[in-house]
Amino acid sequence: MSSTLAAPDLDAAFAALADPVRRALVARLAQGDATVKELAVPFDLTQQAISHHLGVLRRCGLVEQRREGTSRPCRLRADRLSPLSTWIDEQRRAWNDRLDALERHLGQDGAAR
């Protein structure tokens, strides 16, 4: 695997993104920084539940939170998404190569008949 993240880091990031709420939080944070209160608005969840989801995203390095007075805005670490995309692209290329080889094999087999 040539990704820049170690396998456990990839595992943690993909596990975090397996949850639809966390994917929605990542999508919202891709638009800009937001507080827990702001992030909770579109969900039928408590701020505590949103904080839990943000904690999962923080632990795997996809989100960071800073203190600004009494506010704690969250920011997406988009640089941490790149290794996930790279891993997906590597898998896509590998499967495309396999499918191309199968297509060639089937074409040769059909031509032999």
Q: Which helix (H) or strand (E) holds 75?
A: strand 74-76
pLDDT class for 2, splitting at 50, 70, 90?
very low
On whether residue 2 sits in a domain, the answer given is no
On whether residue 1 sits in a domain, the answer given is no
The pLDDT mean for the chain works out to: 90
Q: CA of 35: how far to CAs of 23, 48, 54, 71, 103, in Å?
A: 16, 12, 10, 7, 51
Q: Which helix (H) or strand (E) holds 27?
A: helix 20-29
Q: Global pTM?
A: 0.78
Per the CB < 8 A criterion, the answer to whether 22 and 57 are in contact is yes
Domain limits for position 54: 7-112
On whether residue 73 sits in a domain, the answer given is yes
51-93: pLDDT as tens digits: 999 999 999 999 999 998 888 999 999 999 888 888 889 989 9
Q: What is the mean pLDDT of residues 16-22?
A: 96
The number of folded domains in the chain is 1
| Domain at 24, CATH number | 1.10.10.10
Q: What is the mean pLDDT of residues 44-51?
A: 94
